[in-house]
Structure formats: structure tokens, C-alpha cells
Chains A and B, each alone.
Chain A
Amino acid sequence: MRYILLFTILISVWTGAVPADMDAGIEAYERGDYGVARAAWAPLASAGDPMAQYFLGHLYAKGQGIARDHGKALVLFRASASQGEPYGQFALGYVYEHGQGIESNAGEAARWYRSAAEQGILPAQNNLALMYEQGRGVARNYVQAYYWYVRGARSSGLNPTKAAANLEHLIGKMTPAEIAVAERFLDKR
């Protein structure tokens, strides 16, 4: 009984500490204090927090406050993505696309981009659209590309201008019939 009580207290303290450490890490990251950010996120990532795993993986991938290590970044991104964290899924798609710490695999990249895109992540929506436009990892499909560019361009996330510019470029390659089909496709979703 005593152990159960102790366990409950520990869990309460731990869960109470999670947001504070996460936020402290984000604040430090925004200040450019990557060492403090890493110190805040590392315990959370070890405890299995998927967002912290993604953030820490990013520090390793970019070499911010630590030596660049694509292998460790990949492990963290994979752990994050497998728990359904959309940014972790985007990052895993990106490293697959660019062969960072792993052999390049466009099919896997498209697969992870799609998972993140379906959860509303603008960078993933744009990059998936680009793969459809260029026929990399998926069969070339301008209608699908149009769909995901529009989703990205309409996103409430940060800086959708790149997705909008990409959409303009794609429209230049589409026939009016293809655009009509894509619009109908968007209306159905």
C-alpha cells in the first residue's frame, strides 16, 4: 500500500513536471540556447514523450548544441513517428527522402509524409504534393498533387506561401479537365 502511494506521488510529480520541462525547452530553443533545450527534452524523450523525441531528434539532425548525428536523429524520429507524432512522421519522411542516416527511399518518404499530411502538417502536405507532382515514391498524379498543395496553402499553420507558390506552378502543367477533377476531389473530402 505504501509503495502504491509512493508510486502515485511520483507519477503525479512526473506528469506535473512534463509541461514545464517541455515549455522550458521550447523557450530555450527559441533563445538559441540549444544546450538548455537538450537538457530539458532529453529526460522526456527517454521517458517516451513523442514530442520531446522529435525535438531532441531535430537537435541531433541539425547539430544544434551537440555534434550532428544522423543515426541518433533517425532513432529518435522513428520512436516519435511510431507513436503517431505527426512532426516525427514528417521528419522520418524527410530523412528517408534525403538519405540522412539511412539509405534514401522515396516510397517510405511518401508513406510517412502522408501520415503527417493527413494530420494537417503543412510541410508534410507540401512535400507529399511535390512527390505526386514529380512521381517520386508514388505514381505521378497531378490531381493528388493539387489536392495536397491546396490543403497546405489553406493551412492555418506557419508560412503557407511556399505551398501556394508550388500550387501556382503545378496549375501551369494541368489541363482544365484535370483541375476540375481535382476541385471535385477537394469538395468530396
Chain B
Amino acid sequence: MAAHLSIGPTLSASLVALLGLALVAGAAHFLNRPGSEVQTVPGPKSMATAPQSLVEPSSPPKKVVPIPTRAPRANRKAYDADNAARNGANAAPGLLGIAAQTYRTQGGAGVAENKIYSLADAMHDAVWRKNTSAKLMILMSQRRPLCATDAENSATSTPSIGLRTTC
């Protein structure tokens, strides 16, 4: 019992020392990892490239039209189209040019009325689809005898999954 009491503190002290060493070793390993070096580099790459316009004052930044805060919708849309046209090089130039031109030729605010599919459009679509599906049904029914013949043929010979693909 006395031996246990005397050995106990010694073991505890050894364990604490080992834990301390492990922590120090772990920390040293962590600090030496390549990933940790990235954290020590000051600032992202974009910070280094951002002040380009300051270095080259001959190329001024693109003119940005301020958004009217309380403007009517039509004005706002005009802003959208104009600004999009100015910044077209950054987006999709071909489509953008057509869009802006179409917008202007159609008079701006009136464009929205032409964009909507109407009840008549939907009815036309529904009838067309209904007819198409009806025609498909007829075609399928016309093909049915072929499948039946194939099935009869297959019944007389060895059943094969491959024959089903002919239907």
C-alpha cells in the first residue's frame, strides 16, 4: 500500500512530462505544415493586383451611371439597358447588344407586354401537344401487330430478351 502511494506521484509526474513533450512536438509539426505558411502570408493575391488603376492612370475605370434611387420603373429599366450596353464586354456582347437595341426600338416600358405568353398561346400549345400525343398513340397502335408477331415467333423458339427490342 505504501509502495503504491510512493509510486503514484512519480508516475503522474512522468505522464505530465510526456504529455508536455507531445504537445510541444505537435505544435512544432503543425507550425511546419505547408498550409500554415499560407496563413502567415499577408493578404490575398487580389490585394496585390487591385491598385492597377492607380499604377496606370492612362486607363480610367469605366464610367458607371448611378442608379436613380426613387426613379420610376421605366427609368430604372433604361438604366439597366444602358449600363449593360456599356459593360457589354464583360458579359455576352452579341446577345447584350441585341437586347439593348431591341429594348430601345420597342420603346422601353412597353416591352414587358410582348413578353407574356397569353391564354391563347397556352391553348395552342395544349391542343398541339394533345394532337401530338394522339398521333403517337395511333403510331404505337399501328406498331402493335408487329410486336405480337414477334412475340408469337419468340414463343415458338427459345425465349430471348433481345427480341423485345424489335417492338
Identify the A interface with B (CB < 8 A).
Answer: 22-23, 26, 29-30, 51, 54-55, 58, 61-62, 87, 90-91, 94, 121-124, 126-127, 130, 134, 157-159, 162, 165-166, 168-176, 179
Contacts and interface: CB of A to CB of B under 8 A. Distances in A.
18 contacts: A26-B131, A29-B127, A51-B126, A51-B130, A55-B123, A87-B126, A90-B122, A122-B117, A123-B122, A130-B116, A134-B112, A159-B125, A165-B115, A169-B115, A172-B84, A172-B91, A172-B96, A173-B81
Interface string B27-59: 000000000000000000000000000000000
B125 A172 contact: no
A123 B95 contact: no
A100 B143 CA distance: 46
Contacts of A157: 125, 128-129
A5 to B, nearest CB: 29
A168 B99 contact: yes
B90 interface: yes
Interface string B80-91: 110011000011
Nearest to A77: B119
Interface of B: 80-81, 84-85, 90-92, 95-96, 98-100, 102-103, 111-112, 115-131, 134
Contacts of B121: 123, 159
A-B interface, 8 closest residue pairs, ranked by CB to CB distance from nearest: A123-B117, A172-B99, A172-B84, A123-B122, A169-B99, A87-B126, A172-B96, A158-B125
A80 to B, nearest CB: 11
Majority-rule SS of B interface residues: helix
A21 to B, nearest CB: 13
A172 B103 contact: yes
A171 B95 contact: yes
A165 B112 CA distance: 12
Contact of A62 (B92, B99, B120): B120
Which of B91, B111, B122, B131 is packed against the most chain A CB atoms within 10 Å?
B122
A173 B99 CA distance: 9
Given A121-B122, A123-B125, A158-B124, A169 B111 contact: yes
B115 A54 contact: no
A21 B126 CA distance: 16
A122 B125 contact: yes
Contact of B134 (A23, A58, A127): A23
